[in-house]
Structure 1
Amino acid sequence: MNTRSGQCHCGAVRFTVAPSEGFNSIRRCTCSYCRMRGAVVVMAEMGGIELLQGEEVLTSYRFHTGAAQHFFCSRCGIYTHHQRRSDQRLYAVNVACLDGISPFDFAEVPVMDGINHTSDTGKPTRRAGTLRFIPAS
């Protein structure tokens, strides 16, 4: 497993993460919170993310059902990761927090339909579309 180091913007929160499928699990989501946050995430299994420092400055936010817990630095406000609602054994990690990685490194990012969440509809997760980044020449 390829372990990556990461941190929030101010460096108060530092962590390592072992993405469960490398970067094959990158995605965005259309739910109200993710739409506003705009982060590209990668999945890590429980135990695949280790906080090295700053646990005391992490704060969390829950909404709707309260099942998903979104973590961010209370000093700089950067979202670092969240425990997923649909599978609480998985964490989604903000790729922009990973050292040497940018959301713009990915030409295409799948966008999942979080508005019609599988936990609400009982149907499989649906792909809502694809986010594309085309660098200027």
Structure 2
Amino acid sequence: MIDVTSNDPLTLNGQCHCGAVKFTAELPLGLASARRCTCSICRMRGAIAVTSTHDGFKIVEGADKLATYRFNTRTAEHHFCIQCGIYTHHKRRSNPNQLGVNVACLDGLSPFDFHEVVVYDGQRHPGDNPTHTTFTAGTLTFTPAS
């Protein structure tokens, strides 16, 4: 089993649900970069994302099967498979030089492997309202079912 608390760099393969989109993701901050966000799309999507970069993320199959969704400031780019609808990754609004990669798409991982996940307050993003001067984070703790 992979150590989800490690911040050691890691490279993993991944794919969408139907397998039409396959990728490799270098995670320079390891799995300790796992986080969730409270912005409208992340809240509805419910995914846990880990950090990659544009150079460290490679689509190896199915680039033509990816669609992109943008809203609000149109800075973030949310990518998903047009066949199965699964969100694979996104360009972050909080740091457009980073990508968030859906943990559930990575080989050998499940979002249920993560017992504590940082939660970013994307609902109060500083880019939306000048009175929001900070981008706060908290921790969400999961309790496994017995």
- Report the TM-score when normalising by structure 1: 0.94
Match of 2:133 in 1: 123
Q: CA deviation at 1:125?
A: 1.7
The corresponding residue for 2:79 is 71
- One of 37, 52, 59 as aligned partner of 1:44: 52
Find out whether 1:30 has 2:30 as its counterpart. Answer: no
Q: Deviations over 1:15-64 (max 9, x none)?
A: 00011200121100000110000000001122111000000010010000
Residue matched to 1:103: 111
Residue 134 (structure 1) aligns with: 143
TM-score, L = length of structure 2: 0.88
CA distance in 2, matches of 1:13, 1:40: 19
**Matching residue's letter, 1:124:** T
Q: Which runs of 5+ in 2 are unaligned?
A: 1-8
Q: Provide the C-alpha distance between the structure 2 equivalents of 1:130 and 1:87, rounded to a whole number of angstroms.
A: 20
Structure 1 segments (4+ residues) deviating >6 Å: none
1:58–1:72 contact (8 Å) kept in structure 2: yes
Q: Shift of the alpha carbon at 1:85? A: 1.1
Cα distance in 2 for residues equivalent to 1:66 and 1:29? 17
- Select 1:56's aligned residue among 60, 64, 69: 64
Question: In 2, Cα distance between the equivalents of 1:61 and 1:107?
Answer: 29
Structure 1 distance, partners of 2:84, 2:121, is: 29
- Structure 2 CA distance for aligned equivalents of residues 130 and 69 of structure 1: 25
